[in-house]
Structure formats: C-alpha cells, structure tokens
Amino acid sequence: MKNGSMLYPRETATRRLKSLDGMWDLRFDPSSTGSSEGWANGLDTSITIPVPASFQDFFTDKDAREYCGDLWYARDLYIPKEYEGLKLALRFGAATHRAIVYVNGQEVFRHEGGFLPFSCDITEVAQCGAENKVVVKLNNELSETNLPCGTVKVLKNGKKIAKPYFDFYNYSGLNRSVYLTAIPADSVFGYETTYAIDGTTAQVGYTVKTASSAKVEVSLFDEDGVLAARAEGATGTLTVEDAKLWQVGKGYLYKIVIRLLDGDTLLDEYYDFIGIRTVEVKGTDILINGAPVYLKGFGKHEDSDIVGRGTNIAQTKRDFELMKWIGANSFRTSHYPYSEEVYQMADREGFLVIDEVPAVGMLRSIANFLDASTGAQTNFFSGDHVPKLLERHLDDIADMIERDKNHPCVFAWSLLNEPETTDESAVPYFERVFEQAAKLDPQKRPRTFALVMNSVPDKCKCYQFSDIIALNRYFGWYVNGGPEICDAKEAFIAEMDKWQALDLDKPFIFTEYGADTHPGIHKLPSVMWSQEYQIEYLKMCHEVFDSYPFVKGEQVWNFADFQTTEGIMRCDGNKKGIFTRQRQPKDAAFYFKKRWDSLPLDHKSNK
Ligand code: BDP
C-alpha cells in the first residue's frame, strides 16, 4: 500500500488534527490467533497502555516485558461531523516494527519498519459524527529482512524472545504520536527546498508537490513575522534579501507558508520552519555556510525510564539543555531516525544532526560489539535475505529523506551503522544504498556510514562510498583495556597512520568511542568501569584525534546510559553514557565541558 504524505501533521486554516495519544487497549497474541478470532473489530482485554510509549517497561512480570510476537492496540475514535468532506487519514509517527491498521473492522494499511511515519487514508471507511474503532495489529519480531536486523529465539516453553544483532533493547509498540488528520481534497502533499547564498542575499529554491492543479503560493516570514519573500508556482525561487542564516548554535528559522488557491479562495494551507544554510564537504573540511566546523557531540538513543523508546519531549528538552551546557554542537540519531520533535528542537537550537537510517545489525552476531573487534566474518551481504533487506533499506532511506529533508539541522545522512564491510558482497549493496540517498536528497547532503572496528583500510571494501569517513573505535575498551591502555593507543595510532597514508582528502569523524562506566565506582588508581578510567580513556582518544589534522569531529558513545538486552557484557544496560540514564553528569561530563568549551567551531580548519 502506498504511504500518504509524510508532512508533519499541523493544524491550519484548512487542516484539522485530532490526537489519538492517551490510553489504548492492548492484547498480546502469542499464538497469532487474533486475526481469525476477529480482533480487528475490537479487543476483549483488560490491559490498557499509554501511547506514545514502548509497552515493555510498564509491566512487572517478565513475560509481558519480554513479549515478542503479535500484539494488538485498539481505541475508539470519535470523528466530528465537521470533518465530513475532508480527506481523513491516520498518521502514525512510528509503529514498531510492523503494523496492520484496521478501521471499523476493515484493513486500511500495512507497514513494515518501526522508526518512520506512515499515513493511511481512511476516508472511505470512517464515519463522521460517530465513534469509530481503530485497531492496530503490531508485531515486534526481528528478522534479517527488516531493519534493524536480528532474529527470534523460541524457548523450550514455546515463548519467543527477540535476539537483536544490535546493542539496544528491542523497545516496541506505538512509540510515537498518532493523529487523525483531516485535510482538503486539494492539498499540499510535500515540499522541498535548496539554498544558494550570495553575499547577503539567499536564493531559496523550492518545489511543492500537491494533490491538486490549483495555484501554489509560497511565502517566507522571518522570526518577527515579517514577510521576507513570496513566489508563485509549484517550483520557483524565493529571493531573500539580508538573509539571516541558520548557524551552528544559532538556529534562525523562517516560517514557510504554502497555500493552494483557486482565484481568491484558499483551498489548502500548510506551514513549516526552514533554515537558510548550505552544507558542503570540501577536502577534509565540513563546511556550513562556507565555514568549517568541528563536530563536538554524541551518539544518542531514544531511551528513557518507563517509556522506553517512546517520544519523550520533556526528556528531549533536558537533553538539549545538557548538550548546550557541555559545549556540544552535534549528534547522530544512532541507530534510527528519531521522533520529529527532536529535529524540531535541533533546528531551533542550531544543532548539527547526522540522521541515521535503522540499518544496524548487519553483521550476524548477537554481540557485534565484541565480534567486530575479533575480525569475525559472517558474510552478511551474500545470503538469500539480501534482496528483500535491500528493498526495505532503500524504502527506509526514501522515507527518512522524505520526512527529514527540510530540517536545517540535518547536515548528513548515515546510511548504515557498523555493517560487515570485509567481504566483496557488501560492495553492490552499498552502491545501491548510497545512490538512493544521492538521488533523493534535493540538498545533496554528504553521506556516510559508521565503520566498525574491523573495517580498517586494508580490509574494508566500502569506505570509498562515504563523503565523510565515520569511525566507531574502542581501543582501550574492547581491546587493550585497563593497564594495557598504552598498547591501545599504539594500535589506534597504527590504524590512523594507515588512513593517513591513503590520503583520501576527506574529513574523518569519530561517531563512536567510549568506555562503560558505573557512576558508583570511583577507584585510585583507575580500573575499567570506574569514573576515573572513563576520563583516562577519553583523554587517550583525544590525544590521538588531536594529532591528525583530517579528524574533524568527535561524537562520543554515548550521551547517556541506555537499556540493552541482558547479558554478561551489560550491567542493566550500556553504561558508556557521559550522563546517567536519568540525565545527571558523570565526572567525564565536566572533563568534556572543559575540552569542548575551549575548542573553537573551526578547530583544525584548513582555512
Ligand atoms: C557499537 C555499536 C553501538 C554499541 C557500542 C558499544 O554501534 O550500538 O552500543 O558499539 O559497544 O558496536 O557500546
């Protein structure tokens, strides 16, 4: 089924919006009998569950928390009489990992992939001026033909559990907001912009996609509400005099208002916020508005107490305050596209975002963080699952770009995290993935992927695809930890020397480096897991980064502690956070603040 518009849902003169957030009914369906028993018409259950949220951490019994399989959500929805004649759709911010949507017992949509929105037309089946029944059949199993990759294990008692090939908990459910949207038949479907800056004048190129042949009018308003430019036509250019640029740390935003008109009659109106800025990679520099930037920041997760991976705008606000306090200017949406509200905050605060598609776990291993260091080979890209997986991957890239292409904060696309690149079979796969992003992004942002430990110059077959080389490196943690840290440094330098010798003339950034640290452990002299060792480890890494002029950024792993699958390598989750899961600083936070406050934005620039 074809996805509807990916525009962020907004209410305007012509558009109506109704939130479906709140308590829904929930029913687990371990034997997958729900469909044949008619659950699409409603659920016989006493369990209720909040939306948006992951379902897992509310429950006190382990079977519910670890539930893997089909699970059904349902609620009633009153659709006002006034919505009659409008196009009605249900818009899910994310349904993890696959969903079938029913309205009044009829199937209206199927969607695969748990981290991007979809919008399903329900005009034909919905009843205005009446209660309607919305039912969603979810499934949270992992596979090698969907992103992120993993598998399912069936225990001897018949229960299924998720086995991710990645290092974060398989939080699932209706993780993001759900809306009913009511828009006119003649409507704006999507839009995109491009930027060229000449002195104080900016040319904002735009294209508006509509479901209409009506006249298109596009206006730009500055932050004081003053009209900055106006143009007509589905494609055109807005000339902005004295343009106020979107800058790192100062995210100036213009309001773009798109109107569809039939003579003087307004058919549809949509608005959004854009930032005027250019992005370019030149030699080893990353340029924003032509000026070099050094990335300081984090790999993050959407992860919080109780709500799991559910949208948590309160915590997001806290995260931005902490990132500003510590002197960060960027983050990567490891390992999936985040809630749209996160990008909206980054737009306003002037943060640079590497937007990552959920292509993680592309190394067949449930402890990839360990196996990656050992050089294990799983020939991931040569199995029968590959054609289907590639199709899903390309779809997710298309949806991510469609959703996020107008955010000024997004300056780069990360197309995979730690895939297996040591086998030739990865090459044609990478070709398609990188082509897809280049083809679909109107702003032609740089593309990258995060290289796992064994993706080294003489073994990695795929680094050449990246416009920015992004390394995840754990010298001093997974290899040569503790008293061996001096050897770790040598091994690290030996690898960096090899990269240098290739003379790639591209920027390198570190998208991961980190050491698990329990906030309760202090030790003199340091031991691994202590706060002291985390700082010792970070200092060593920074000494290495600082001695290579082509290293143009550092995003430490991780912003905060986060939940993972249980195992002997994880102590109630991954503890590499610079902040705790409750967003309080470890000692390393103060060390970072000092370092990052002293590094200028154009640190190590070639200018
Ligand atoms: C890398 C992964 C990341 C892990 C991290 C770690 O990209 O998801 O959490 O290492 O081991 O393998 O902490």
Q: What is the pLDDT of residues 16-58, one digit of tens each?
A: 999 999 999 999 999 999 999 999 999 999 999 999 999 999 9
Residue 415: which of 437, 390, 399, 444 has the closest Cα? 437
Q: Ligand 1 centroid to 44 CA: how many Å?
A: 41
Q: What is the spatial distance between Cα 64 and Cα 61, in angstroms, rounded to a whole number? A: 6
Ligand 1 pocket, residue 472 CB under 6 Å: yes
Phi-psi region of 375 (alpha: psi -120 to 50; beta: other; left: phi over 0): left
d(Cα 469, Cα 113) in Å, to the nearest integer? 27
Ligand 1: nearest atom to the Cα of 452: 12
Instruction: Please give the number of the atom of ligand 1 that sits closest to the Cα of 334.
Output: 8
Give the C-alpha separation, 240 to 238, whole Å: 6
Ligand 1: does its nearest atom lie under 6 Å from the Cβ of 557?
yes
Catalytic choice (141, 217, 356, 512): 512
Cα(369) to ligand 1 centroid in Å equals 5
Cβ–ligand 1 distance for 512 under 6 Å, the answer yes
Extract long-range pairs of 543-547: CB within 8 Å, 24+ residues apart. Answer: 543/489, 544/489, 544/492, 544/493, 544/496, 545/510, 547/493
Burial 321-337 (b: 16+ CB within 10 A, else e): ebbeebbbbbbbbbbbb
Name the residue with the closest Cα to ligand 1, atom 11: 369
Ligand 1 geometric centre to CA of 412 (Å): 20
Cis ω for the linkage preceding 335 (within 30 of 0): yes
Measured distance CA(471)–CA(26) in Å, rounded: 41
- The answer to whether the CB of 90 falls within 8 A of the CB of 119 is yes
Catalytic residue list contains 512: yes
pLDDT at 7: 97
Give the Cα separation of 418 and 398 in Å (integer).
20
Ligand 1 atom 1 nearest Cα: 369
pLDDT in tens, 105-119: 999 999 999 999 999
CA–chain centroid gap for 260, Å, is 31
- Please answer whether residues 522 and 471 qualify as being in contact, where contact means their C-beta atoms are separated by less than 8 angstroms: no
- Angle, alpha carbons 318-321-323 (nearest 5°): 110
Secondary structure in 3-state letters for 382-397: HCCCHHHHHHHHHHHH
Is 418 annotated as catalytic?
A: yes
Does the beta carbon of 139 sit less than 6 angstroms from any atom of ligand 1? no
pLDDT at 3: 75
CB of 368 shorter than 6 A to ligand 1: yes
Please list the ranges in the chain whose pLDDT falls under 50.
none
Give residue 272 CA to ligand 1 midpoint distance, Å: 35
Q: Does the Cβ of 167 fall within 6 Å of ligand 1?
A: yes
Measured from the Cβ of residue 216, the count of other Cβ atoms closer than 10 Å reads 24
The rounded Å distance from CA 164 to ligand 1 centre is 12
Paired residues of 194 in beta bridges: 205
Place of tokens 């949270």: 140
Q: Tokens in use for 289?
A: 């508005």
How large is the angle between the packed helices 386-404 and 426-440, nearest 10 degrees?
20
Q: Compute φ and ψ for 545, nearest 5 degrees.
A: -55, -45
At residue 373, the pLDDT reads: 65
Distance between first and last Cα of the chain: 50
**How far apart are the CA of 482 and the centre of ligand 1, in A?**
19
Report d(CA 505, CA 47) in Å as an integer.
Answer: 57
Determine the distance separating the centroid of ligand 1 and the alpha carbon of 586, expressed in angstroms: 19
CB of residue 478 inside a 6 A radius of ligand 1: no
Q: Hunting for tokens 């919305």 — which residue is that? A: 134
Query: For ligand 1, atom 10, which residue shows the shortest CA distance?
Result: 369
pLDDT given for residue 375 in this prediction: 67
Name the phi and psi angles at 343, rounded to 5.
-70, -35
With a 6 Å cutoff on the Cβ, whether 29 touches ligand 1 is no
Of 496, 456, 493, 450, the residue nearest 299 (C-alpha)? 450
Ligand 1 contact via 564 beta carbon (within 6 Å): no
> Among the options 217, 269, 418, 420, which is catalytic?
418
What's at 345, amino acid-wise? M
Angle formed by the axes of helices 340-349 and 313-326, nearest 10°: 30
| Phi, psi torsion values for 297, nearest 5 degrees | 170, -145
Q: Whose alpha carbon is nearest atom 4 of ligand 1?
A: 167
**How does 249-265 read in b/e, with b if 16+ C-beta sit within 10 Å?**
eebbbbebbbbbbeeee
pLDDT reported for residue 378: 82
pLDDT of 248: 98
Can you tell me the distance from the alpha carbon of 533 to that of 526, in angstroms, rounded to the nearest whole number? 5
